[in-house]
Structures are given as structure tokens and as C-alpha cells.
Amino acid sequence: MKKFFPALLLLSFTALNVCLSQQSALKNYTIDTKATAETKALFFNLKNLSGKGVLFGQQDALMYGIGWKGEFDKSDVKSITGSHPSLFGWDLEAIAKSDSEENQTQNAEKLKSYCLQAFKMGGVNTLSWHVQNFVTGKNFYDTTKCVSSILPGGTKHKEFTKALDKVALLIKSLKNDKGISIPVIFRPFHENTGNWFWWGKPFCTAQEYKDLWQFTVQYLRDKKGLHNVLYAYSPDRISGNLDNYMERYPGDNYVDVLGFDNYYELKDINDQKSVELAVKSMGQICNYASSKNKIAALTETGQEKIVQTTWFTTIFNRIMSDTAASKISYMMVWRNAHTGHFYAPYPGHPSVENFKDFYNNPKTLFLKDVGTSLYKIQ
């Protein structure tokens, strides 16, 4: 059985001397002054996790896994540990790309159902957006320059706002049977320090990227009236140099979560320098987040096919042994698509026992550990 302090400890106001009757006076540190109560609670609880525990998440965990697809209440993680992840990653590509209206509607309803399922269980939903290139109509890997064209005044700005309208419609529709808006962490234009997406560093100026981010936040929050969103900024590796991270940072008024994507190939995990740079980077981001009352997270990570069977405990123990890096509030591995592309163990994989050790660590928080308390102030 997993040893873990009660979930309510994560939500305790004792240290802040705040009682239940004072909830309305709690300062809202989100970038949205009109954020819903559940969104503010999620922000507070994630922020309050810092140094106490780390939510574990996976992309598309409820949708499919190795050898199965679309089975209700199933995930490869649950098949091994008895618990789903506590954080669920989804992507908006299918609901906002150039496609038939029927397909977009079907994709939106499917995504909506998974977000609702995760929320009902008490999990956190985070949305990335592998968005098409608006200049060419091709996918996100087409690095034809696009950013300047979709900014206000650009030739493709209208097409971009139409796509944002679809994103807004989906997020606005995320309500439970009591009409409560489901909070989401929106993570657009990620890994912007890389060269594989059209919004990457070689394909737009730093100011263009900032303008794109700021316009997106203002459009969704202020024009479309979405108040159930936390916004996550997540470049790729920064090699222990915070300047690389901050070069395109859109500003404290536009970011709730300071994220960081870092994957590990076998060569990296055996290269102590690479591991130390990653931990150093996380520590720098955590320190900055703490100084600005924001959340820090390892927004994408993992080792494809988990070729090193002790990967999970090796990496997590190293992160948690660092005073600064251990302040991340959540970490998310990528999806389990097939036996050639997966990032969490599945039944029968050699890393299962190590993953169980990872699960049993008091600092790793799965769905069973958090219950439904992340959206309440107690």
C-alpha cells in the first residue's frame, strides 16, 4: 500500500492562518482577475504542493494504451498501480485544424468527454496545441514562417482567430452537470526554443513570439470571456541558462505556470552532465516561479520505450534531491501509442517494478492520493 500523508495536507491553510470563512479574501495570483473559484483553488493547491509532492501525469492516458483503445476508466498506469495519473494531457489539434465541420464536432465532443471524466475523478486537465501552419495549411512541423502572418494586421490573422474561436468554444463548453466550468491548464506554442515547430526560435523574432502569446491570452481571456484557464509557458531544454528561458518569456502578466520540456534518451541518462543541466534548469525555473508567486512544472518528460528500466526512480530521486528543482508541482510523460512509442510502463514491461517503486514514493501523487480536493479550498 502506498504510504502518503493525507490529501488535505496539500490544501492546508494552517501555515497561512487562513480559515474557511476567509476564502473570499484569499489573494488571487492567477493572471485572470475574474478567474473562477475552482480555477483559483487549483492554482493555490498546485502552488501549495511546491516542495511537498509532485503530481504525476500522462498525455492521452484515458484514450488508449498498449494493446487497447477507448475502454472506459482504463489507463496503462492504472493497470500497473491501481490508480490513474492525477494529471491528464490532451491536445487541441483535431478540434481546430482544417477539417470537415462534422469531424471537428466529433473530435471536440470526444475531447470534452475525457476532460469531464478526468475532472469528475479529481484529476487535472492540461491542453497543448499542435496547431497547423496557417500560411501553408500543412501541419505544425512545417516551419514556413507563419507567426508574423497571424498577428494583428497579418494576412492570416483572420484564420488564426477562427482557430482560437474553436479552442474557446471547446474550453467554454467544459462544464459538469452542476454547470461548474472545468479548469484547464492551456499550454500553447510549447518548445519554442527548438527548431521543429513553426513557432520555434529560428522562425520568428522574440518580440513576435511574445506578441503571439499575449494576443492569444487576451483574446481567450478578455474577448471570449474564458475564466477557467491557467496559462503555461514551456520551452524546451535551456541547458542550465535561465536567459535562454526568459528570452521569449511573454511576461508575468501572461503566464501562470512556468513549465519546461525535457526528454531523456539513453545517452542522456548515462551522461551525468546532461542530467545535471536538466536539474539545474528546473531549479532556476522553480526559483523564478517562487519569486513571482507562480507554479513550476516539468511539463513534458520521459524516455521513449523506457530503455533504462530504472528511469523513473533514477530521474525523480535526482530531482527531489535538489533543493530548488524539487519545488516542481507536477510532471507529465508523453503518451503510450504503441510498442515503438511509449513513455509509461504497461503490463509486462521490464520497468513495471521500478514504476511501482516510483508510485510508492510518498512524494509522487497519483489520482488516489489527491481525491477530488484540488478544486476546493479547505
**Residue 268: what pLDDT?**
59
The residues carrying an active-site annotation are 191, 300
Compute the half-sphere exposure of residue 34: CA atoms within 13 Å on the CB side of its CA. 10
Q: What is the mean pLDDT of each run of 10 residues along the chain (378 residues)?
A: 47 40 64 97 96 98 98 98 98 86 90 98 98 97 98 98 97 96 98 98 98 98 98 94 96 98 72 86 97 98 95 95 98 98 98 98 97 85
Compute the half-sphere exposure of residue 322: CA atoms within 13 Å on the CB side of its CA. 22
Question: Hey, is 361 helix, strand or coil?
Answer: coil
Separation CA 52–CA 78 (nearest Å): 23
Residue 243, phi then psi, degrees to nearest 5: -60, -35
- Structural domain boundaries of the chain? 38-375
**Residue 109: what pLDDT?**
96
Q: Could you tell me the three cell numbers for 2? A: 502506498
Separation CA 167–CA 156 (nearest Å): 17
Q: What is the pTM of this model?
A: 0.94
Q: Could you tell me the three cell numbers for 49? A: 504542493
Q: Could you tell me the three cell numbers for 34? A: 475574474
The answer to whether 111 touches 94, Cβ cutoff 8 Å, is yes
The answer to whether 296 touches 290, Cβ cutoff 8 Å, is yes
Question: Over the Cα atoms of the chain, what is R_g?
Answer: 20
Beta carbons within 10 angstroms of residue 56's beta carbon: 27
The answer to whether 250 touches 275, Cβ cutoff 8 Å, is no
Fold assignment, 38-375: TIM Barrel (3.20.20)
Residue (of 54, 79, 86) closest to 317 by Cα position: 54
